Amino acid sequence: MAKYREIAVLSIVPGIVGILILASWALAYRDIGPTFVNAGIALVATLFGGYLRFILGFKDIFNRKITVNVFVTVALIATIAVGEFRAAAVVVFIMAVAGALETYTLDKTRRGIRNLLDLTPKRATIRHNGEEVVVPVDEVQIGDVVVVRPGGRIPVDGIVVGGQSCVNQAPITGESMPVEKFKGGEVFGGTLNETGRLEIKTAKVGPDTTLARIVHLVEQAQGTKAPIQNLADRFTVWFLPTVLVLAVISFLTSGDIKVAVSVLLVACPCAFAIATPTAVTAGISNMARHAVLIKGGVFLELANKMDVLLVDKTGTFTFGKPKVVDVVAFDGISEEEVLRLAAIAEKYSEHPLARSVMNRARECDIQVPDPDEFKIEIGMGVTARLDGTKILVGKNEFLRDKGVPISEHIENMISEQTEQGRTTILVSNNLKPVGLIAIADEIRHETPRAIASLKAMGIKNITMLTGDNHKVAKAVSEEIGVDDFQAELLPEQKLQYVEKLQKQGLVVGMIGDGINDAPALALADVGIAMGAAGTDVAVETADVTLMNDDLSRVVNFMDMSRKVLLRIKLNIFFSIMYNIIGFILAGFGMLTPVLAVIFQEAGCITVVFSSTLLLWSKTGSRLENEDSGSLPVVPLTVENAMRENVSQCV
């Protein structure tokens, strides 16, 4: 209902103007009442529908700028001056329809940042006089001890003073793996406590929290983004003086002021005014059908000028979920047996790494019996027993402390996995090491191909930004083929990196999905959010949203940006041709002011038809059409090939 209500509101002005024009025409056609009545109605329609154009036109004149508004103002004043009120009203009607269309297109998806702080709980549990009391989060004071149970969101920034747990802080820091939190560890408001009970001494509340500071950064960044001047305005800078000279020449040669007015009207840039919004509307509608939401035509223009594309790693290049990517067995033990033993030990664990092991066991149809005994040592590993067999799974230090001999060869294999950005857990059976399991954030299978396609489309540099450590970032960047990477970045640092590139005169695009990406998304010339899995703030802040989290849709968006800009230029060409023909006819007195308006309206219809063709245009993504030869295909690595088939087992 809100959508139709918005359309109805935008239709009020052109609707009223249209009704007044019909009333004026009907009175004149039926010869009802004095002439000044129907002329007055047409004049009211002109002033009612065109007052904003007049105001903007005079402002631009005062500021010494030649724009479409200046052109329309001059043409309307001249038309009214010679008594062609109805012709002036028709011009205003056409401009009102074009303005409503442009407003609806550019603003329908743009909303203010709302519900940004929904990640922060509204209430918090604090320890007071030995008891736990639930209070509104606004009443929590610095120094209060906040209790957060497993599965709960942390309401404040603070320091852990009791308990141990894994905390998923990807929304704030961008880290792909949950972080172990012990006494003395720092936590952020809005992050998720996954496994254990935590007692947190409050250090920051309200506007001082990390999440609140991100809100401020987003608002500040949004206020610095300047719009690109409309192509029609740039064309009008030299077109208006030319038309004025032709109008004067027409008057001097014909001696008829109406001939000069007809020249102004036939050249009235209605077609120029709708050349951009109609093409943009069609392009945006086309992309919406391909699960890409674009929040304004300016971003289609900027995308075609993009020099650098910055991409967040977690949730964008990767799924943001740990997955078993390799199983290595020792001394003749089968890989399936290594995975089975690990799954037995991890069956009752809620740790994210444990869940990835269980998921891999399910993919391989491994039957996992319940352990007879189970004990977890947070941050280190798990001990389990089954039928007298003692199973240990965890860090190499954990197994060594339990009496498991760790050879230099095993240490080297762990180092090799670490260099590839993977987290490694060892598995032992009765104090004998039997294998290791490597776990990493899973890379989206379309990522390498999408990057190759974007490079083929002319993006000079693709850089990965991440809060992960340097080794993980390096491993991922090498696998997917980006030009560069920046690791261990906080939200402020991502923002600063965007600012640095923009100060170098580069047009910067940014792709992200989390709250930690929101400031950079807002400041970037083109901010692109991975929508389905992204946070609300990222989607609200971004200029383009990939609704189905398919990175290849960025290729579609880039291709459409080229087609839209080409269509805009083609529309302007059509307008010029109509103007040239109209100039000739009007200059020889073959067009009255009303016929001049009708002729230039024909140009508008041509432009609308031209733009409508974009609705059925196909974008050239190599990822969508494997038979196409337009874009290159990147061979998958062995590890990527494994990911292509989720049913493949160890």
Say which CATH number the domain at 422 has.
3.40.1110.10
Report yes or no on 574 lying in a domain. no
Q: Same structural domain for residues 309 and 449?
A: yes
Measured CA distances, 553 to 171, 294, 615 (Å): 23, 12, 17
pLDDT recorded at residue 266: 79
Residue with tokens 């798990």: 382
The SS3 call for residue 429 is: strand
pLDDT (mean) for 33-39: 85
Residue 135 has pLDDT above 90, yes or no: yes
Please count the structural domains in the chain: 3
46 inside domain: no
With both helix axes pointing from N to C terminus, report the angle between 85-107 and 593-612 in degrees, rounded to the nearest 10. Answer: 20
Q: Are residues 505 and 452 in the same domain?
A: yes
* Whether 436 and 326 share a structural domain: yes
Per-residue pLDDT at 392: 95
Beta bridge partners of residue 168, listed in sequence order? 192
Average per-residue pLDDT for the chain: 80
* Secondary structure class of 641 (helix, strand, coil): helix
- pLDDT cut 90: percent of the chain above it: 25
Q: Is the distance from CB of 298 to CB of 283 less than 8 angstroms?
A: no
pLDDT band at residue 310 using 50, 70 and 90 as cut-offs: very high
pLDDT tens per residue across span 395-429: 888 999 999 999 999 999 998 888 887 889 999 99
**What is the model's pLDDT at position 230?**
56
Amino acid present at 103: T
Which of 558, 574, 608 terminates a domain? The answer is 558
Can you tell me the mean pLDDT for 123-148?
91
Radius of gyration of the chain (CA): 33
- 265 in a structural domain: no
pLDDT digits (tens, 9 = 90+) for 78-121: 888 888 888 888 878 877 776 676 566 545 444 444 445 567 78
Residues 428 and 373 placed together within one structural domain of the fold? yes
Grouping H, G, I as helix, E, B as strand and the rest as coil, residue 154 is: coil
Please tell me the predicted confidence (pLDDT) of residue 538.
60
Beta strands in 470-618 (DSSP E): 484-486, 508-512, 526-530, 544-546
The whole-angstrom separation of Cα 357 and Cα 436 is 11
Q: Give the model's pLDDT for residue 225.
A: 46
The answer to whether residues 385 and 469 belong to one domain is no
pLDDT at 276: 75
118-122, 158-162, 333-337: segment of lowest average pLDDT: 118-122
DSSP state letters, 490-515 = -HHHHHHHHHHHHHTT--EEEEE-SG
Q: Please identify, among 499, 524, 558, the residue that sits at the C-terminal boundary of a domain.
A: 558
pLDDT higher than 50, residue 262? yes
Q: What's the rounded Cα separation, in Å, for the pair 468 and 340?
A: 30
Task: State the Cα–Cα distance between residues 399 and 381, nearest whole angstrom.
Answer: 8
- Whether residue 476 is predicted with pLDDT greater than 60 in this model: the reply is yes
Q: Is the pLDDT of residue 238 over 80?
A: no
The pLDDT assigned to 514 comes to: 60
- Final residue belonging to a domain, choices 156, 190, 208: 208
Does one domain contain both 356 and 451?
Answer: no
Q: Are residues 435 and 460 in the same domain?
A: no
Examine residue 472 and state whether it is found in any structural domain, yes or no: yes
* Dist. CA 257–CA 26, nearest whole Å: 27
Q: Which residues pair with 439 in a beta bridge?
A: 324, 423
Query: Cβ atoms within 10 A of the Cβ of 129, count?
Result: 5
State the amino acid at position 646 in one-letter form.
V
Question: Bigger pLDDT: 335 or 190?
Answer: 335
Alpha-carbon gap, residue 351 to 367, rounded angstroms: 20
Q: Which of 312, 468, 549, 559 is catalytic?
A: 312
Residue corresponding to tokens 């050879």? 407
In the structure, what pLDDT confidence band is assigned to residue 171 with cuts at 50, 70 and 90?
A: low
In a domain, 64, yes or no: no
pLDDT at 488 over 60: yes
Q: Are strands 192-193 and 157-163 parallel, antiparallel or unpaired?
A: unpaired
Average pLDDT of span 143-161: 93
Q: First CA to last CA across the chain, in angstroms?
A: 53
Do residue 412 and residue 386 come from a single domain?
yes
- Domain CATH for 167: 2.70.150.10
Question: What is the CATH classification number for the domain harbouring 499?
Answer: 3.40.50.1000
349 and 426, same domain (yes or no): yes
- Is residue 642 assigned to a domain? no
Structural domain that includes position 199: 121-208
What residues are paired with 377 via a beta bridge? 381
Give the Cα separation of 26 and 480 in Å (integer).
Answer: 68
Q: Are residues 434 and 468 in the same domain?
A: no
Whether 312 is a known active-site residue: answer yes
Q: Are residues 301 and 395 in the same domain?
A: no
In the structure, what pLDDT confidence band is assigned to residue 269 with cuts at 50, 70 and 90? low
Which comes out higher in pLDDT, residue 230 or 345?
Answer: 345
Kindly report the length of the chain: 650
Which range, 22-36, 138-152, 224-238, 558-572, is most confident?
138-152
Kindly state whether residues 435 and 336 are assigned to the same domain: yes
267 in a structural domain: no
Instruction: Give the contacts of 196 (CB within 8 A, at least 6 positions apart).
Output: 150, 163, 164, 165, 166, 378
Alpha carbon distance 111, 101 (integer Å): 18
Identify the bridge partners of residue 147 per DSSP, sorted by sequence position.
125, 199
The answer to whether residues 458 and 468 touch, using CB atoms and an 8 Å cutoff, is no
Whether residue 405 lies inside any domain: the answer is yes
> Whose structure tokens read 């498991």?
404
CA-CA distance, 374 to 613, in Å (whole number)? 65
- CA distances to 175, 265, 465, 511, 512 from 315, in Å: 10, 54, 12, 10, 8
